[in-house]
Amino acid sequence: MAESSPVPPASSPVPLDDKRASFEREALVHLDVLYRVALRLTGNPSDADDLVQETMLKAYRAWEQYEQGTNAKAWLLTILRHAFINEYRRRTRHPETVDVDTIEPFAVFSEVQDEDPQGAFFDKIVDDQVLQAIDQLPVAFRETLVLSDVEGMSYQEIASILQVPVGTVKSRLFRARQLLQGKLYDYAVEMGYIKGTPA
């Protein structure tokens, strides 16, 4: 296994009931977040279930290493992401062929500022369509965008989960948002929600 957790030192045994109680209190409460992120990373509910399950098992085994009262959500998401990279990306063999850091952003605002500067066309786009558009983003953009815009994490937290510099988070987030806007704009034009010309 890629991430075997070391055996906790014999000098600091944690009573099982305490371990369970603290794990329930600090880790299990983040199940919804983990599931949402897993779903966006894997792209389907069954793999998302497995990924969350695996994450929780690994987290429980390593629970002694977690410093209680610190950022459990970020700690869990780091484990989840490692598990995703180790298992799923290797298994699905979909290496990213695009160098995400060279993708040129497209400013939707400049396209719509005359016709719909308030972005009213967004309101016509339903949940499923937005999620589908997110799922089409390169994974490096998708994970950054989901952690920031769905889960509301700070640049610093995201940088530590993804193990990249804060500047990379910033630039990926910028591009991810612009790319997603472009996809939603194209969809809105296609559906006739806005006149425009497809990006």
Partner 1 sequence: MNCRECVEHLYEFLDRELTPELEREIREHLEDCPPCGEQYDFEELFLKFLRARCKTQGAPAELKKRVLRELFGE
What are the residues binding partner 1 (CB under 8 A)?
A: 20, 23, 28, 31-32, 34-36, 39, 45, 49, 52-53, 56-57, 60, 109, 112-113, 117-119, 122-123, 125-127, 130-131, 134, 146, 148-150, 152, 154-155, 170, 173-174, 177, 180-181
Closest approach, Cβ 173 to partner 1, in A, equals: 6
136 CA to centre of own chain: 13
Of the pair 15, 95, the CB lying nearest partner 1 is at: 15
Say which DSSP state 66 is in.
Answer: S
Q: Which residue has the tokens 């690994």?
A: 58
Of the pair 64, 149, the CB lying nearest partner 1 is at: 149
User: Residue 31: which of 19, 11, 13, 48 has the closest Cα?
Assistant: 48
Tokens of 87: 């298992």
Of the pair 31, 85, the CB lying nearest partner 1 is at: 31
Closest approach, Cβ 130 to partner 1, in A, equals: 4
Closest approach, Cβ 97 to partner 1, in A, equals: 26
Closest approach, Cβ 103 to partner 1, in A, equals: 16
Closest approach, Cβ 149 to partner 1, in A, equals: 5
Q: Which long-range contacts (CB under 8 A, 24 or more apart) does 66-71 make?
A: 66/26, 66/27, 68/22, 68/26, 69/26, 71/157
Give me the phi and psi of 74, to 5 degrees please: -65, -40
